[in-house]
Structure formats: structure tokens, C-alpha cells
């Protein structure tokens, strides 16, 4: 079974631009979560989607948004990029229940200049 895929793997943007990252979960997984990883803050939860609905959200500004499609694929968008948005963005997918493990993709490394 194919793992979680994320595109693109690397992105370079300038301040003020916006960016869209994509995540395709493992086949059959309906929950998709996004995390931001930076050297200073570590791994932080952004949001979780299930059946096209956001059902959990971390403490990030409204510039960070996401959505999920009917095939469970998910996108996240960051508008008006800031230098501090430079990070590795990781997507994770899982089955539905509380006990289910989250499996991560390879991440998208975003650099904001």
C-alpha cells in the first residue's frame, strides 16, 4: 500500500506571497492532520480534517487554512507569507478511531525569503 505523499517537496517563496501544499493520504485513511516543524518551536499541530470537515485546530493565525476533498486528499494554504513560516510541513493520515496511528508523509520544506 502506498504511503502518504506530499507535493511539492520543496518550495521557495517570498514574503507576502501565498502557498498551497498538497497531501494524499494512505488509501482508506479518512483523517488528515497537518503539522509544522521548526527548529525553535519543534512540531506543532495545525489542523485535522475528516470527511471534508475540520474537526480540530491548533493555535495558528487565520493565514493558515486547509481543506479536504471527497477523496480524502487535503491541501493547506498559507497566505501573506512571513519569514517565520519557513518550516517543514508534515501531513499525517490515519483511520478513524482514537487509537489509530498517524502515518506521516515526507513533508514539504518551505523557505520564505
Decide whether 35 or 64 has the Cβ nearer to another protein.
35
Binding site for another protein (CB under 8 A): 31, 33, 35, 42-43, 45, 48, 50, 55-56, 58, 88, 90, 92, 94, 96-107, 109
Q: C-alpha grid cell for residue 19?
A: 502557498
The answer to whether the beta carbons of residues 33 and 92 sit under 8 Å apart is yes
User: In whole angstroms, how close is the CB of 99 to another protein at the nearest point?
Assistant: 6
Residues 6-42, buried b or exposed e (16+ Cβ, 10 A)?
beeeebebeeeeebebebbbbeebebbbbbbeeeeee
Decide whether 15 or 57 has the Cβ nearer to another protein.
57
Decide whether 82 or 96 has the Cβ nearer to another protein.
96
Decide whether 66 or 105 has the Cβ nearer to another protein.
105
Residues 62-89, buried b or exposed e (16+ Cβ, 10 A)?
eebbbebeeebbbbbebeebeeebbbeb
User: In whole angstroms, how close is the CB of 7 to another protein at the nearest point?
Assistant: 14
User: In whole angstroms, how close is the CB of 98 to another protein at the nearest point?
Assistant: 6
Amino acid at each position: 500500500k502506498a504511503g502518504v505523499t506530499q507535493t511539492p517537496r520543496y518550495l521557495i517563496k517570498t514574503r507576502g506571497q501565498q502557498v498551497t501544499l498538497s497531501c494524499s493520504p494512505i488509501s482508506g485513511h479518512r483523517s488528515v492532520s497537518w503539522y509544522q516543524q521548526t527548529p525553535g518551536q519543534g512540531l506543532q499541530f495545525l489542523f485535522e480534517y475528516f470527511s471534508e470537515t475540520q474537526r480540530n485546530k491548533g493555535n495558528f493565525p487565520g493565514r493558515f487554512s486547509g481543506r479536504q476533498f471527497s477523496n480524502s486528499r487535503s491541501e493547506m494554504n498559507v497566505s501573506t507569507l512571513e519569514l517565520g513560516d519557513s518550516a517543514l510541513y508534515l501531513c499525517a493520515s490515519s483511520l478513524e478511531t482514537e487509537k489509530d496511528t498517524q502515518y506521516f508523509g515526507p513533508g514539504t520544506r518551505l523557505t520564505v525569503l
